[in-house]
Amino acid sequence: MNWQQAHMVAFTAAARALAKYGVDDRERVDVFAAMDRAGFDIMGRPMPGLFGLYLAGTGATGPAALLNSRMSEATIRHTTAHELGHHVLGHASQVDYDLNDLHTGKRSWTKEEQEAEAFAAWFLMPRKAMNRVLVRIGCTTLSAPRDVYQMALWLGVSYAGVLRQAQNIKMLSRAQATAWSQAASGRPAPGASQPIPQRVWELGPSADGTTIHVQTGDRLRIGGGDSDAVPKLPKGLDPQGPTGTALDVDVTSVFNAPGNIRTGRWSIGIIPTPCRRGCVQSWPTWAGGSQDDEGRTEVR
């Protein structure tokens, strides 16, 4: 099987799964809710060398997935969608080793892995959701690596994942995606405040009335508010000072429940990402608790 064939199969399967499991394909996909509706049992634990494990259901038990909790949130979400793809596509049980090895050519793709990987892309990055994010980041097209970086944050996926899917939906040419994959990640300059943030969001009036999912260590660069007004921040968000005309705000471990940032002109909802340890029942969308601070890997 080649990638074109895999994407043809996955495109249809992902569209049907989004509808079947009641997922809004215009927003950031809640892959864990979809897994729950598909009858999955999910467990997260550290598993060096493995991304995930899919166990096909039987007549007596439903499907199950075991995920490496030491990975980044984007990679956990991607792996979860990948395991869901195995289920939706009727695959047998699968052990998913480091997906980076497949993307870099260290290991060869099987038909099942190609289909599940393509499914993950179409499930987590539907065309409608990607188009809507363009509006929310104040763009009409992906014109620079920083736009790709911001889209990845909004969708909860990796920078490399957006580059690949943007080619699939003709949002980027292959040559442009290749050039940007060899550039820096597109992350904005972190600013003068310490410590250096893990991720940097650029937020402005185009994001008014929407919601983002943040992690401890994120920096939110808030622009487009009243210059004389200090934004109203929920507990756990720590103002760091101005960067140009914007205000930098850091997400701390104290932030553990949904809240809102309100400037004089616009507002945005913010939701903390829970620690992905243990059974899925401990992973509600807005769950509190400190974030896992162990080393994490990022799928490319």
Question: Residue 197 corresponds to which tokens in the numbers above?
Answer: 């943030």
- Decide: 45 and 277 in contact? Cβ < 8 Å: yes
Beta partners for residue 211, in sequence order: 269
- Decide: 220 and 201 in contact? Cβ < 8 Å: yes
- Decide: 71 and 48 in contact? Cβ < 8 Å: no
pTM: 0.88
Write a three-state SS string for 249-260. EEECCCCCCCEE
What angle do the packed helices 145-155 and 127-136 form, to 10 degrees?
A: 120
CB count within 10 Å of CB 87 equals 24
What angle do the packed helices 145-155 and 159-168 form, to 10 degrees?
A: 100
Calpha distance 174→177 (Å, rounded):
5
Calpha distance 250→221 (Å, rounded):
9
Per-residue pLDDT of the chain (300 residues; tens, 9 = 90+): 888 999 999 999 999 999 999 999 999 999 999 999 999 988 888 888 889 999 998 767 889 999 998 888 999 999 999 999 999 999 999 988 866 666 666 667 889 999 999 999 999 999 999 999 999 999 999 999 999 999 999 999 999 999 999 999 999 999 999 999 987 678 888 877 778 888 999 999 999 999 999 999 999 999 986 655 678 999 999 998 887 788 999 999 999 999 999 998 999 999 998 877 655 544 544 333 334 433 333 443
Grouping H, G, I as helix, E, B as strand and the rest as coil, residue 241 is strand
The answer to whether the Cα torsion of 18, 87, 284, 190 is positive or negative is negative
Q: Break the chain down into helix, strand, coil percent, rounded to 5.
A: 35, 20, 45
Nearest to 166 by CA among 183, 147, 184: 147
